[in-house]
Amino acid sequence: MKADAPGAVLKRERVRDFILDLIESHRPGDAIPSERSLCARLGVSRPTLRAAVDELVAAGLLVREHGRGMFVAPEKITQELVSGQQSMTVPQASGTWSSRLLEFTTIPAGARVGRKLRISPAVEIVYVARLR
């Protein structure tokens, strides 16, 4: 199947999805297989594998350590800023309010957003960027 055919999955996407499954099955700090073993297992070149790994490193899901390998990234620390018991009041603002639409498009959810929304990383979501 050609890469530009409808429904075709790029090798990089297939590799990324495989590594995402590895991440899901490991704990933070656990090592994942080496580049060489992943290339052999998936039948792809190292540049293809590295492109997929680069995406996951940029998304904060993997950590690379030179000479040691790749590891599942530690969980991000989240903190509730306002508890349900308290309410936050904001004083009335004066002046005029404006909002400018910078971008409105559909994009793949990606690994991090897909995990937060409990959807596939390939699902299209609406991305809105605005300037207030």
Structure token pair of residue 132: 């207030």
Given a cut of 50, whether residue 114 has pLDDT beyond it is yes
Is residue 36 assigned to a domain? yes
Residue 46 within any structural domain of the chain: yes
Backbone torsion region of residue 67, taken as left when φ is above 0, otherwise alpha when ψ lies between -120 and 50, otherwise beta: left
pTM of the complete model: 0.54
How confident is the model at residue 5, as a pLDDT?
Answer: 52
Mean pLDDT for the stretch of residues 94-121: 85
Domain annotation covers residue 6: no
Pick from 40-54, 58-72, 90-104, 116-130: least confident: 90-104
Residue 83 is assigned to a structural domain of this protein: no
How far from 20 is each of 3, 17, 25, 115, 126, CA to CA, in Å? 21, 5, 9, 10, 22
Average pLDDT of the chain is 84
The mean pLDDT of 17-45, rounded to a whole number, is: 93
User: What is residue 1's predicted lDDT score, i.e. its pLDDT?
Assistant: 45
Domain interval for residue 121 = 100-131
- Choose between 64 and 115: higher pLDDT: 64
- Across the range 30-40, mean pLDDT stands at 94
- Structural domain total, the chain: 2
Pair (16, 66) in one structural domain? yes
Last residue of a domain, one of 36, 54, 72: 72
Provide, rounded to the nearest whole percent, the portion of the chain with pLDDT above 70: 83
